[in-house]
């Protein structure tokens, strides 16, 4: 059975698109045919992060309006032939998406794909609502700060009451926490919430911690999802996340401070 994953947060700029690109690539690299959809109509940038912005002909809205078929609009990724991108429209406004239209496209994709990753826009308005409405699983991307955590909590409330699963009284959406842009040094200085603080407020299953990392910017500049940068800490964090989501048992990393050379030689906790 295909699964629809929404990557959402409430708050803007926390790393949803970075995460969508990384996990979609990760799932495809593990051999699962995956589609990733940009729901951020008007502000598309998933195609930039995936490095396919110059190959966009048709978009999500064209397909909904019947101006193009799904096959015409889907872009095959240049690094992985099991990964396809459905870009958002840059020129339309948000009202171009309809619940019926989105539902139809997802149903069609489900026939052919194992995972469908929906990159949600920020906020809790229509675009974010449509991105989560049909989801089976939700990846809640949160930064370790109070306002982001609060918005995630709000989004969790919406998932559990306004989604299709909630409305049909089906088994609820499975919710996972992805704590992103985490910096153990800043946690220690009291400038950021710790993993435990966030867990205590949200009480949610932690799928992984993604460290604050320069590699993310480098990756998006070169149009390669950061998960392909296997040497980078953020890339490894996303690889762990994909593995855990698929049921592998991986201990959490990137929660404690990096040990300097001194720490490496002399051990200690």
Name the phi and psi angles at 51, rounded to 5.
Answer: 70, 35
Strand order of the β-sheet with 174-182 is: 75-76, 83-86, 34-38, 115-119, 3-8, 137-142, 174-182, 205-211
Q: How far apart are CA 123 and CA 120, in angstroms?
A: 9
Cβ 194 to ligand ATP shortest distance, Å: 17
Using CB under 8 A as the binding rule, whether residue 172 contacts another protein is answered as yes
- Would you say 110 or 154 has its CB closer to another protein? 154
Nearest CA to 15 out of 209, 160, 266, 230 is that of 209
Using CB under 8 A as the binding rule, whether residue 156 contacts another protein is answered as yes
Pairing of strands 83-86, 75-76: antiparallel
List the single partner that 37 binds among Mg ion, ligand ATP, another protein, none, CB under 5 to 8 Å by kind: none
The strand ranges marked E within the chain are 3-8, 34-38, 75-76, 83-86, 115-119, 137-142, 174-182, 205-211
Nearest CA to 115 out of 9, 2, 232 is that of 2
In sign, the C-alpha dihedral spanning 112, 41, 69, 104 is positive
- Would you say 183 or 199 has its CB closer to another protein? 199
List the single partner that 217 binds among another protein, ligand ATP, Mg ion, none, CB under 5 to 8 Å by kind: ligand ATP
For residue 159 the two structure tokens come to 């998932």
Using CB under 8 A as the binding rule, whether residue 48 contacts another protein is answered as no
Give the residue, chosen from 30, 33, 92, 150, that forms a contact with another protein under the rule CB under 8 A.
Answer: 150
Cβ 166 to another protein shortest distance, Å: 11
Using CB under 8 A as the binding rule, whether residue 157 contacts another protein is answered as yes
List the single partner that 161 binds among ligand ATP, another protein, Mg ion, none, CB under 5 to 8 Å by kind: another protein
List the single partner that 52 binds among ligand ATP, Mg ion, another protein, none, CB under 5 to 8 Å by kind: none
Using CB under 8 A as the binding rule, whether residue 197 contacts another protein is answered as no
- Would you say 2 or 155 has its CB closer to ligand ATP? 155
Give me the helix-helix angle, 195-202 and 146-162, nearest 10°: 30
Give the residue, chosen from 6, 8, 14, 17, that forms a contact with Mg ion under the rule CB under 5 A.
Answer: 17
Contact residues: ligand ATP, CB under 6 A? 9, 12-18, 40, 121-122, 180-181, 210, 212-213, 216-217, 220, 234
Cβ 58 to ligand ATP shortest distance, Å: 22
For the chain, the residue count is 269
What DSSP element (H or E) covers 199? helix 195-202
Cβ 17 to Mg ion shortest distance, Å: 3
Number of C-beta neighbours around residue 31 at 10 A = 9
Residues of the shown chain interacting with another protein in the complex, contacts defined by CB under 8 A:
150, 153-154, 156-158, 160-161, 172, 200-201, 203
């Amino acid at each position: 059975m295909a699964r629809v994953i929404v990557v959402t947060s409430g708050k803007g700029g926390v790393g949803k698109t970075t995460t969508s690109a990384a996990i979609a690539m990760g799932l495809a690299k593990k051999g699962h045919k995956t589609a990733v959809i940009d729901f951020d109509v008007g502000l598309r940038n998933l195609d930039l992060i995936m490095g396919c912005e110059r190959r966009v002909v048709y978009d999500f809205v064209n397909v909904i309006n019947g101006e193009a078929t799904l096959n015409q609009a889907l872009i095959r990724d240049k690094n992985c032939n099991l990964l396809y991108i459905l870009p958002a429209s840059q020129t339309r406004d948000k009202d171009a998406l309809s619940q019926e239209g989105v539902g139809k496209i997802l149903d069609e994709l489900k026939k052919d794909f194992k995972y469908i990753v929906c990159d949600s826009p920020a906020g809790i308005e229509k675009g974010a609502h449509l991105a989560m409405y049909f989801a089976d699983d939700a990846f809640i991307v949160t930064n370790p700060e109070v306002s982001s955590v609060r918005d995630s909590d709000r989004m969790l409330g919406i998932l559990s009451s306004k989604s299709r699963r909630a409305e049909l009284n089906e088994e609820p959406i499975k919710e996972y926490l992805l704590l992103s842009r985490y910096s153990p040094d800043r946690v220690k200085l009291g400038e950021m919430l710790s993993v435990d603080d966030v867990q205590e407020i949200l009480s949610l299953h932690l799928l992984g911690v993604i460290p604050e990392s320069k590699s993310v910017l480098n990756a998006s500049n070169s149009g390669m999802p950061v998960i392909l940068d296997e040497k980078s800490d953020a890339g490894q964090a996303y690889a762990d996340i994909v593995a855990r989501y698929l049921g592998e048992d991986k201990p959490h990393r990137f929660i404690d401070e990096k040990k300097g050379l001194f720490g490496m030689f002399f051990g200690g906790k």
